[in-house]
Amino acid sequence: MGGGKAKRAGAGKAVKKPKAKAGKKPVKPIELYFWPTPNGFKISIMLEECKLPYTLIPVNISKGEQFKPDFLKISPNNRMPAIVDPAGPGGRPIAIFESGAILQYLGRKTGKFYPSDERARVEVEQWLFWQMGGLGPMAGQLNHFKHYAREKLTYAIARYADEVNRLYGVMNIRLKDREFLAGKYSIADMACVGWANLWERQGQDIEQFPHLKRWLETVKARPAVQRGMALGRELRKGIDMKDPKVQAVLFGQRARAG
């Protein structure tokens, strides 16, 4: 019981009730602005891995909730994921968009899955940015042209399918002599798993990439990854990405009035 201890500590003074046990301050949950996609899963996986308390705030991108003024204040790029950490630097709230920046922030905050040693950190960052600038955007474009574009543009499909194939090859070679992308399991692996998990939909043959296949199975076997990638699955039920109303929201976006 803490009461006795507090009295002893405060002997001779007015006894103050301890606010909370040392190190047991009630933590305000992080607000996770989320929709169940590979970009969203990066953050749900990290929160689960770090056992950080969080509140899920769905952003239904098929209905245009990413354009709500309150959300744009947090994420001016009208994209999820985004977070608000009520206990940000200096104890004040902080809002963050862009999944790579969120992963780095959570890694620094917790000291987990993002090493502070400079050499180890650079290893992680190279593969994190490789995902952000390569695997994610290329696989995203492939998904668009292969599954959604009204015109069947063979050239565009082949271009992005080739690029995804090349990127899988790079990852496969990288994983030949190390368990994870940066050696140890890190935010770089969390950034990639949701995308690599869709290899079949991307028209790729996983058997061509045995080291990537082994890595994918290892990462997906982690309970936190399973929880992260199961988050909000039910939200997508009944949503047809081929519905012209949904496509009118998501495709053909141009600059918003300032």
Ligand X SMILES: N[C@@H](CCC(=O)N[C@@H](CS)C(=O)NCC(=O)O)C(=O)O
Q: Closer to ligand X at the Cβ: 45 or 80?
A: 80
Q: Which of 30, 80, 128, 181 binds ligand X (CB under 6 A)?
A: 80
According to DSSP, residue 83 is labeled: E
What angle do helix axes 99-110 and 38-50 make, rounded to 10 degrees? 0
Shortest reach from residue 245's CB to ligand X, in Å? 14
Q: Is 26 or 258 the residue whose CB approaches ligand X more closely?
A: 258
How far are the Cα atoms of 15, 30, 122, 163, 228 from residue 171, in angstroms, in the given order? 61, 32, 17, 12, 22
209 or 225: whose CB is closer to ligand X?
A: 225
Closest to ligand X by CB, 17 or 254: 254
Instruction: Output b/e per residue, 21-59; b: 16+ Cβ within 10 A.
Output: eeeeeeeebbbbbbbbbbbbbbbbbbbbbbebebeebeb
Phi, psi of 202 (to 5 degrees): -90, 10
Element (H, E) at 169: helix 154-174
Nearer to ligand X, 79 or 109 (CB): 79
* Nearest distance in Å: CB 142, ligand X: 14
Residues that bind ligand X (rule: CB under 6 A) add up to a total of 11
Which residue of 78, 126, 218, 247 would you call a contact of ligand X, by CB under 6 A? 78
- With contacts defined by CB under 6 A, name the span among 75-83, 109-117, 171-179, 205-213 that binds ligand X: 75-83
Residue with tokens 């069947």: 152
Q: Which residues within the stretch 217-236 sit at the binding site for ligand X (CB under 6 A)?
A: none
Q: Give the nearer residue to ligand X in terms of CB position, either 37 or 110.
A: 37
The number of beta carbons lying within 10 Å of the beta carbon of residue 223 is: 9
The least distance separating ligand X from the CB of residue 201, rounded to whole angstroms, comes to 14
> Site mask, ligand X, residues 33-72, x = CB under 6 A?
----x-x---------------------x----x------
Under 8 Å between Cβ of 34 and 79: no
Q: Please give the angle made by the CA atoms of 68, 69 and 73, to the nearest 5 degrees.
A: 120
Q: Cβ distance 99 to 42 under 8 Å?
A: yes
Candidates 73-81, 165-173, 197-205, 235-243: pick the segment binding ligand X (CB under 6 A): 73-81
Q: Which of residues 94-133 bind ligand X (CB under 6 A)?
A: 98-99
Residue with tokens 């969203």: 40
Q: In the complex, what is the shortest distance from the CB of residue 206 to ligand X, in angstroms, rounded to a whole number? A: 22
Query: Which residues of this chain interact with ligand X, rule CB under 6 A?
Result: 37, 39, 61, 66, 78-81, 98-99, 250
